Structure 1
Amino acid sequence: MNLKYMKIIEEIKLQLTNGSLIAGSKLPSVRQFSEQFSCSKNTVIKAYVELEKEHLIYSVPKSGYYVVNEIQSPTKENQVIDFFSAGPDKSFMPYVEFQHCMNQAVELYKEELFTYSDQQGLYSLRVQLVNYLQDLQVFTQPEKVVVVSGSQQAINLLVSMPFPNGKNNILMEQPTYFGFIESVTLHQATTFGIELSMDGIDLDCLEYMFRNNDIKFFYIIPRFHNPLGHCYTNSEKKKIVELAEKYDVYIVEDDFLGDLDTDAKSDPLFSFNPSGRVIYIKSFSKIFLPGLRIATVVLPTIMVNNFLRYKFSSDFNSSAISQGALEIYLKSGMFTNHLKKIKELYHTKINRLQEACELLLPANTYFTKPTSGFYLSIRLPEGVKAQKVVHMLYEQNVYVDDASRMFLPEYKKENLIRLSISQVNESQITTGVERLAHCITLIESRKSNAFSFSKGKFM
């Protein structure tokens, strides 16, 4: 068997890794390599074709072969315990499968993908999204579905646009997703908060807010809340929708992790929505490929045209090639198989994190107990500030998130940290919590010693 072409491939990859060949470099000619390796020109061409398939090089007719990009050397990422990052687990991203879908999309939709496409989103994708959403108990039609460039775009547009109820103010859980707080802040919207814990919200307080504060919409994350990990019960969701109907308030439901729900009987707020009261947002960034920048929003018919008008002023239409590839990925059943894998992965990780917290955290430290999802939050002991913990852990290569940015100013708490399990290696979870526990104990000890010294000095 002729393996010389493999040696040529290895040699080129070595040069791409060590920097001898960089992006844009011209490779040696076929004749030069055939002489260097004492092989036929066909052998060299075979090696170049294989490298082209890996998208490492490309050919220019009558000119030669050139480097697309150098190969990055391995980093020391495994030394970092990352409870901060909130994207999908990199080792479970379906790069190869989706690459096939991208190639298929280019073949099938040449004209649609490289010209201006339907502003509402490719119709064929919206049909597939309707089928996909049925599994989440969201029953709708393609005419009510809009494809957006990530859920953040949908949120930003909804914050800025008028609603059919003619109201102006926005209500949100406290704490909540930081990107939503950024949007309302930039648009200078009048906002109200309602406190959320793992026991839920006060429904009497919610009714008071709806009745008295001219609420345009209530932004809510009903499943695997960011940052708490809280999930509402079906009876709570039904009551929230009833109150919204009673007081003419819209609900913006951000169900970004709904796919990870292990409770088959758990339904979204949208399923309790007989009259178009709930606007449903579904992102693919956390469960699939963040760089795809595709999400979907299901709107009441009365709002579709106005939403599209605001979207037009933002970006006209979302990436057509991403839409075409996603349609094929959904239709082929690949996405369903992907979900089965990650559902088990994140459920296992969040359980591992809870077990470590139960075993290792100081007794006066409270942590939330989500059933799945990405997030678990820790309320630190009195006098221990999240910012201090974050900085101390960073020096030990443990990354956690200070959740103070997830509150409106009047609700701000400085003793809450958020842990995400999405990108941390499962084998590192216990070690990370050990360092966190030691950090909390050390800060408390220092505060206690400082208090004792101060008390002794002035007695």
Structure 2
Amino acid sequence: MTTKYKSISEWVKQQIEDEKLKTGDKLPSIRLLAEQFQCSKNTVVKALLALEKQHLVYAKPKSGYCVVDDYQISIPHENDIDFLSAGPDKRIMPYEDFQHCINQAIDHYKEQLFTYSEQQGLLSLRKELAKYLQHLQVFTKPDRLVITSGSQQALHILCVMPFPNGKKTILIEQPTYFGMLDSLQLNQITTLGIELTMKGIDFERLEHLFRNNDIKFFYIIPRSHNPLGHHYTNEEKKKIVALAEKYEVYIVEDDYLAELDTDSKADPLFVYEPNGRVIYVKSFSKVFLPGLRIATVVLPETMIPSFIHNKFSTDFNTSPLSQGALEIYLKNGMFQYHLESVKKLYTKKMNTLIEACSVFLPNYVQFTKPKSGFYLTIFLPSHIDLDKLIYLLHEKHIYVDNASRMYLAENKRKAIRLSISQVNEQKIDLGIQQLAATIIDLCKKKEYNPITFKSYH
């Protein structure tokens, strides 16, 4: 029976893949399939129910089973080494667990699915998120949380909405998250940058910028920085908050990878000014399911009406189904269990990547050494054609990101960003060997003198 059941499932999948069965087409009847595979009707029904659970076919009353959609298996090239993708590792995503949560959410929130839900976000989810945030040392009440459709929406709104200090200019680290840069440039917002290295920022420069410019807020990624992987110390965070207080500057803290921080004593900036100077943004895209599009922002109470007004003008409300499913996932403890395996996997991958860069990259190529997170940045000699390097790597099925786009135009550096989130751990060494060989080859063709390259710390 088992063999017949599997044979029927594989046959239907193959028919769809070969386009002999297309979207909406009706499958052969249960009787015909039973005759074709010389098995009982019960075996056929079991196979069809399994295909229905995989959302490949659906039962049409009084008509039989039909194809839901074109079934295509997405198989990456066997030689692909993916340092580009920044979403969570697909091999450890809790698809089945979360599917149960979605089904429960449909049952529990079925009325809200057909109406507009609370603009601030489901109160029940905000209560669960307030409890969850305590694990990250963010202590606040549900009334100060607003649910957004991903952190990108939250950042966009914060860029364009007025702040109580009445200021207009936004300060960002250099480099920084390209999604933030896009929002600033799209909205033509005056933007200043402060250089960030693995040694941190220049606090005299920070105070000068705060004192002499109309700074609305300082956008900062305090840990697992994108793209450097830098982490601020608690003492540095206290100093940043103190300077912000002194010069009436707000801080927007993007703590997107807080869960991967290996330092249990590390605090968010929010700890040092929880009453309104620090606006805390938390995404769930990188450690969970990007397609969920759920994030939360902790705002001072006086700013909530304006934030919600701006949010309402773009999407009315965030999907109640996604909100309800996340609430159930948090409440039943599945999320914390998932995070344990996520943290171990990414820590192991990052250590492997740093070791490979230390061994294989030529000594005139500098790279960051993050203690945790997704990202590591490699800085290249100034004469190297960055586009050509990326193209040559692509030809070898090695994919990296151009980190120069993560700088303001006047601060651009030649750099590439490597992400460990989806790369196969067993291919990291090979990928870095190939990367190093390509850099060396390009340098030879330019008769490059490595002594002239300025070190990056």
Where 1:419 maps in the other structure, the secondary structure is strand
TM-fit CA distance, 1:412? 1.3
- Partners of 1:182 and 1:2 in 2: CA distance: 53
Query: What does residue 273 of structure 1 align with?
Result: 273
Where 1:378 maps in the other structure, the secondary structure is strand
- Partners of 2:3 and 2:404 in 1: CA distance: 59
Query: What does residue 421 of structure 1 align with?
Result: 420
Query: What does residue 236 of structure 1 align with?
Result: 236
1:45–1:169 Cα change, 3 Å:
same
Query: What does residue 55 of structure 2 align with?
Result: 55
Greater shift, 436-445 or 302-311, is seen at 436-445
CA contact (8 A) 1:252 1:281 kept: yes
2:53 is the alignment partner of 1:84: no
Query: What does residue 141 of structure 1 align with?
Result: 141
2:289 is the alignment partner of 1:289: yes
1:253-332, aligned counterparts within 5 Å?
253-332=253-332
Where 1:88 maps in the other structure, the secondary structure is coil
- Partners of 2:62 and 2:242 in 1: CA distance: 70
- Partners of 1:218 and 1:379 in 2: CA distance: 25
Residues 323-370 of structure 1, C-alpha deviations (whole Å, 9 max, x = no match): 111111111111001111111111111110110111111111111010
1:38–1:274 Cα change, 3 Å:
closer
1:362–1:119 Cα change, 3 Å:
same
CA contact (8 A) 1:114 1:320 kept: no
- Partners of 1:355 and 1:47 in 2: CA distance: 47
1:184–1:30 Cα change, 3 Å:
same
Where 1:77 maps in the other structure, the secondary structure is coil
Query: What does residue 185 of structure 1 align with?
Result: 185
Greater shift, 249-258 or 48-57, is seen at 48-57
Query: What does residue 457 of structure 1 align with?
Result: none
TM-fit CA distance, 1:74? 5.1
Percentage of pairs with the same residue = 61
1:33-432, aligned counterparts within 5 Å?
33-73=33-73, 75-413=75-413, 415-432=414-431
1:432-443, aligned counterparts within 5 Å?
432-443=431-442
- Partners of 2:267 and 2:388 in 1: CA distance: 39
What's the TM-score, normalizing by structure 2?
0.95
User: What are structure 2's unaligned runs of at least 5 residues?
Assistant: 450-457
Letter in structure 1 aligned against 2:230:
H
Residues 371-397 of structure 1, C-alpha deviations (whole Å, 9 max, x = no match): 010110111124224323212211111
Residues 79-101 of structure 1, C-alpha deviations (whole Å, 9 max, x = no match): 11111111111111111111111
Greater shift, 379-388 or 433-442, is seen at 379-388
Residues 160-187 of structure 1, C-alpha deviations (whole Å, 9 max, x = no match): 1000111111000001011111101111
Letter in structure 2 aligned against 1:436:
L
Residues 209-267 of structure 1, C-alpha deviations (whole Å, 9 max, x = no match): 11110100000000011111000000000110011111111000001111100100001
What's the TM-score, normalizing by structure 1?
0.95
Where 1:78 maps in the other structure, the secondary structure is coil
TM-fit CA distance, 1:48? 2.3
1:31–1:369 Cα change, 3 Å:
same
1:350–1:46 Cα change, 3 Å:
closer
Query: What does residue 448 of structure 1 align with?
Result: 447
Where 1:251 maps in the other structure, the secondary structure is strand
Letter in structure 2 aligned against 1:227:
P
- Partners of 2:50 and 2:393 in 1: CA distance: 45
Residues 280-321 of structure 1, C-alpha deviations (whole Å, 9 max, x = no match): 111111111111111111111110111000000010111111
TM-fit CA distance, 1:4? 4.2
Greater shift, 273-282 or 185-194, is seen at 273-282
- Partners of 1:392 and 1:285 in 2: CA distance: 30
1:444–1:117 Cα change, 3 Å:
same
Residues 398-428 of structure 1, C-alpha deviations (whole Å, 9 max, x = no match): 1111111111111112x21111111111011
TM-fit CA distance, 1:6? 4.2
Greater shift, 399-408 or 7-16, is seen at 7-16
1:449–1:321 Cα change, 3 Å:
closer
Where 2:66 maps in the other structure, the secondary structure is strand
Where 2:244 maps in the other structure, the secondary structure is helix
Residues 418-451 of structure 1, C-alpha deviations (whole Å, 9 max, x = no match): 111111110111111101111111111111189x
- Partners of 1:76 and 1:148 in 2: CA distance: 32
Residues 6-49 of structure 1, C-alpha deviations (whole Å, 9 max, x = no match): 44333223323333222211111223223334444444333322
- Partners of 1:205 and 1:391 in 2: CA distance: 37
- Partners of 2:212 and 2:448 in 1: CA distance: 49
TM-fit CA distance, 1:71? 3.0
Instruction: Tell me the number of residue pairs that the alignment of Structure 1 and Structure 2 aligns.
Output: 449
1:41–1:426 Cα change, 3 Å:
closer
1:104–1:449 Cα change, 3 Å:
closer
Query: What does residue 453 of structure 1 align with?
Result: none
- Partners of 2:395 and 2:51 in 1: CA distance: 41
Where 1:47 maps in the other structure, the secondary structure is helix
- Partners of 1:377 and 1:230 in 2: CA distance: 10
User: What are structure 1's unaligned runs of at least 5 residues?
Assistant: 451-459
Greater shift, 423-432 or 389-398, is seen at 389-398
- Partners of 2:74 and 2:143 in 1: CA distance: 47
- Partners of 1:315 and 1:168 in 2: CA distance: 25
1:35–1:175 Cα change, 3 Å:
same
CA contact (8 A) 1:113 1:324 kept: no
1:2–1:184 Cα change, 3 Å:
closer
